[in-house]
Amino acid sequence: MKAWPILGILIVQAVLCLAHWFLYFTWTAFWWPLSPAATLALKFGLIGLSIIFIVGALLGFRFTNWLVAFVYQIAAVWLGLLNFFSCAAVLAWIIDFALRFALPGTAHLRARPEVAGALFVAAILTGIYGILNARLIRIRRVPVKLEKLPTSWRGRTALVMSDLHLGNINGVRFARRITAIAKRLNPDVIFIPGDLFDGTKAGPEKIAAPLFELTPPFGVFFVSGNHEEFGGSTHYSESLKHAGFRVMHNERVTIDDLQIVGVPYEVSNYPLRLRHILMSLHLRDGAAAILLQHVPTRLPVVEQAGVSLQLSGHTHGGQVFPFSWVTRRAFGKFTYGLQRFGSLQVLTSSGAGTWGPPMRVGTHPEVVLLTFE
C-alpha cells in the first residue's frame, strides 16, 4: 500500500512537468526571437517551478514553520497561475491556427506576440480575481423540510462548515473569520463534514483555536475527510475531542430526538462496509436522520439505510475553471447545492476554504445556514 502514495506523487509530477514543457514550447514559439540568455533563464525557471508544488506539499506534511508555509504559499499561487497560463496557451494555438486561414502568407506569425500577450495578461488578471474571490466567504441560507423531523427542531438552524482546509494557506486568521461568521449567525448546532484541516503538519490545537470558542446549544459535530487522513486522522480527532467537538466515527447520537450519524471518509470508500454500518444503526426506526459524510457518493446505500439528509463537501464545486467540468462529470448534480435522491436529500457545500491554489474562479467559498421547516 505504501507504493500508492509514491505512484500518485510521480503521476502528479509528470503532469506538472508536461504542463511546464507546454508553456515553454508556447512561449518560445509566440514570443520570438528570444535571446539565448532569455531562453536559458526561461528553461531553468520553468524547471524549478515544475517541482516547487510537490516539494512544498511534501515539506508541509513533515514540518511546520514559517519558511515551509511561505514556500507552499508561493507554490500554491503558481499552481493556480499555471492552470490559467495553460488555458491561455491552448487558446493561443487555437487562435494561431484560425489566423493561418484569415491572414495571407506568414502574417499570422507576426500576430503571435500580441495574441499571446493578451491571453497571458488575461490569465494573470484571472488569477488575481481568483485570489480575491477566494477570500470573500458567502453565507448561503437554505430552508430544508425533512420527514419525521421532531417538532422541537422546526425553526431551528444548523451551520454547515465544510472544507476549511486549515493549514499553510488558511491559517489562524482565516479560522477567526469563520468563527466570527458563525457567532454572528448563532446556529443551534454546527456540522463539519470533513476537511477541516488540510493535512499538513501545522498544529491543529493552534491553527483551529478560534473555532474552539464556538459553543452552540446542541454542539459541534465533525467527521474526517480525505485530507485529515493525509495527516493522520487520529492526530486531528484528539485535538477536536479535547476542545469539546463531537468527532463522529461510525456512530449515531440523538440530540433532542433528532438522529445525527457520522462516518469518516475511509468508510465511505467501501460500499459494503458503509451499508453494514448504516444498517446496524436501524435509522428507519426513529426520527429524521442527518448523515455527515464527506463525499456526496454511495447515495443508494445511504437512502436505503433510512437517512433523511446527507451533508457533504469535498467537491469545492470544482474550485477553479475548468475543473468544475471534472467535478460535474464525477458527481453530476450532486456536485453542489441541495438535491434529492429518492427519499434522501443531499446538501453538498462548495466549502469555505481552498486546496492547492488559493483561488476560486467559477465558484464561491461559503458556509451554509440550514433552517429546518
Q: Which regions of the chain carry the CATH code 3.60.21.10?
A: 139-372
pLDDT digit string, tens, across residues 245-289: 999 999 999 999 999 999 999 998 899 999 999 999 999 888 999
Average pLDDT on 327-334 reads 95
pLDDT digit string, tens, across residues 148-174: 999 999 999 999 999 999 999 999 999
pLDDT of 1 higher than 70: no
User: pTM of the predicted model, to two decimals?
Assistant: 0.93
Within 13 Å and on the Cβ side, how many CA atoms surround 172? 9
Beta bridge partners of 368: 140, 160
In CATH, 139-372 is 1.10.800.10: no
Cell numbers that stand for 182 in this block:
458563525
